[in-house]
Amino acid sequence: MKQHRSRQSGGRTGNLDTVFSHSVRAALRSRRRIWKTATLAAAFSVFALYLAWLEAYDAQPHHNDESPLAEAVAQGAASAGRAAGPGPDLVKRGAYLARAGDCVACHTSDKGRPFAGGRALSTPFGTIYTPNITPDPDTGIGRWTDTDFMHAMHEGIGKEGERLYPAFPYVEYTKVTDQDVQAIRAYLNTVVPVHYTPPSNNLSFPFNQRWLMFFWNLFNFDEGRFVPEPKQSAEWNRGAYLVEGLAHCGECHTPRNFTQGLKTNEPFSGAIQAGWHAYNITPHRTSGIGKWTDQDVIGYLSTGVAHGRANAAGPMAEVVEDSTQYLNREDLRSIATYLRSLEPIDRGEARPRTEWGAPASDVVAWRGTRIDGVNGGQLFVANCASCHHWTGEGIGASAPGASAPGAYPSLIHNSVSGASDANNLAMVILHGVSRTTKDADVLMPAFGRELNDEQVAAVTNYVTKQFGNPQSTVSAEQVGRLRATAQ
């Protein structure tokens, strides 16, 4: 009996030990869970506080005038108090380089206030408003130092150490030499100061967090100046410096990856910008400009017209008006030389954009007939034929065989009507054309208010069928989306 009781007692003691051990372990596990939870909560709180600090920091006045393209070029006027200012030759060179970089286009929303910023740049992540880069000390760049300006242009770093958004093309400007950056800054110091604060950027979270640009830069940005290729000519190297750097042609003509960085494996092969198609400018003979002569390229960049090939409209007309028409002959030829040396990229077009079309004879067939509904041909005759002729051959100096850059272009052998998509043709009908150069003042009225989406689509499809690429069509729904795209 005693032995039995002893065994029972020992069993109870063992069970108690086991229960105690389990309880201790459970308590330890619970305590570890509490510590893990507390640690995670603390880490999250610290991170949230950091984000809140960044958000508050971003809202300070010194950020109101920032937008990539502006900040970078924006740091000039701090040298205003220097005893001896830059020489006139440096300022003159800076003015030329600022033209080549097309700074005024992005930094001007009101032509009465050049370089004062405020232009809205639409991105997939929200709207960026370009900053004031006049030498106004309070709302412009009057307090930027030489070092500030260099960091912005070459590294995408703003005056306060903040990372700039790549709407400012520091990806290309990093290639610009120190001397040229200094010349641009010297010129910007001489423009008229304008006291104006542009609107603040409107970017959704988390894209309004500038520190995230660190990760974007890892994939899309290589800092460093342009290095001439010793095996190439001076003309080729000058063209590469302009196309790849200061003129930042790839920003419009290179497609983008999912981060909105440039696809470096498809350079200059064409992309869509704000509804407009920036065409393939590689020397492919059907998809690109392989059949263009040097004179075609030079004429297009200097006047907006390459006869029998293209007439600049939309953003490209603005580039010609504000920038490329001011480039000297040597630089224009260098650009043509470099573009010709690029790797040709095939986009699958059956024939070049400028080799489509023939004169129409529809009007003769329509005589005496009744036309019902929305008819593209009838709309073309009513709205377009007075300038482009009912045959589509154009009227005046830019008709086939003529050479002046003005008048009304032919729709036959025209890159817009012969393109594989009808985007640019529909956009021209919606928004018209405005292009002022030293040679001509070109104006085509916008029909967006007079014609609805169905009518614009009908005219577009008639033009591509009769005068251009018949496979290129657009629907009323597509026109509606193009109409709604911010310009």
Indicate the range of 91-95, 183-187, 206-210, 263-267 predicted with least confidence. Answer: 206-210
Q: Is the pLDDT of residue 6 over 50?
A: no
> pLDDT tens, 28-38?
445 555 544 44
- Tell me the C-alpha to C-alpha distance, in Å, between residue 149 and each of 67, 158, 217, 243, 423: 14, 8, 19, 22, 38
Which residue, 107, 134, 120, 144, is CA-closest to 195? 134
> pLDDT tens, 373-396?
889 999 999 999 999 999 999 987
Cβ–Cβ contacts within 10 Å for residue 364, how many? 8
Place of tokens 């009838």: 378
Distance, in Å, from the CA atom of 87 to the CA atom of 207, rounded to the nearest integer, reads 42
Its sign, for the CA torsion 199, 203, 206, 207, is negative
Which residue, 237, 74, 238, 89, is CA-closest to 142? 74
Distance, in Å, from the CA atom of 242 to the CA atom of 338, rounded to the nearest integer, reads 9
Q: Is the pLDDT of residue 46 over 80?
A: no
- The two most distant CA atoms of the chain are separated, in Å, by 128
Distance, in Å, from the CA atom of 444 to the CA atom of 311, rounded to the nearest integer, reads 12
Distance, in Å, from the CA atom of 118 to the CA atom of 107, rounded to the nearest integer, reads 7
Distance, in Å, from the CA atom of 93 to the CA atom of 180, rounded to the nearest integer, reads 8
Task: List where CATH 1.10.760.10 sits in the chain.
Answer: 356-484
Q: Is the pLDDT of residue 478 over 70?
A: yes
> pLDDT tens, 283-307?
999 999 999 999 999 999 999 999 8
Q: Is the pLDDT of residue 80 over 70?
A: no
pLDDT confidence tier of residue 408, bands split at 50, 70 and 90: confident
The arithmetic mean of pLDDT across residues 2-27, rounded, is 43
Distance, in Å, from the CA atom of 436 to the CA atom of 109, rounded to the nearest integer, reads 17
What's the mean pLDDT when you consider all of the chain?
A: 84
Which residue, 247, 270, 278, 265, is CA-closest to 172? 247
> pLDDT tens, 202-250?
998 988 899 999 999 999 999 999 999 999 999 999 999 999 999 999 9
Distance, in Å, from the CA atom of 124 to the CA atom of 249, rounded to the nearest integer, reads 20
Cβ distance 123 to 260 under 8 Å?
yes
Q: Output the CATH code of domain 356-484.
A: 1.10.760.10
Which residue, 4, 120, 132, 146, is CA-closest to 70? 132
Q: Name, in order, each residue with C-beta under 8 angstroms of 128's C-beta and a sequence gap of 6 or more.
A: 67, 68, 120, 121, 165, 167, 201, 203
For residues 34 and 314, which has the higher predicted lDDT (pLDDT)? Answer: 314
pTM exceeds cut of 0.85: no
Cβ distance 340 to 239 under 8 Å?
no
Termini Cα distance of the chain: 100
Distance, in Å, from the CA atom of 21 to the CA atom of 320, rounded to the nearest integer, reads 83
The arithmetic mean of pLDDT across residues 257-269, rounded, is 95
Q: Is the pLDDT of residue 169 over 60?
A: yes
Secondary element (H or E) of residue 121: strand 120-123
Cis omega (within 30 of 0) on the bond before 206?
A: yes
Cβ distance 215 to 207 under 8 Å?
no
User: And the tokens for 10?
Assistant: 């020992």
Q: Is the pLDDT of residue 55 over 90?
A: no
Distance, in Å, from the CA atom of 140 to the CA atom of 457, rounded to the nearest integer, reads 44
Instruction: Tell me what pLDDT residue 31 has.
Output: 52
Cβ distance 409 to 420 under 8 Å?
no
Distance, in Å, from the CA atom of 169 to the CA atom of 333, rounded to the nearest integer, reads 24
Q: Is the pLDDT of residue 17 over 90?
A: no
Residue 96's Cβ-side half-sphere holds a number of Cα atoms within 13 Å equal to: 11
Q: Render the burial of 286-324: b for 16+ CB within 10 Å, e for the rest.
A: bbbbeebeeebbbbbbbbbbbbbbbbbbbbbbbbbbbbb
Cβ distance 303 to 309 under 8 Å?
no
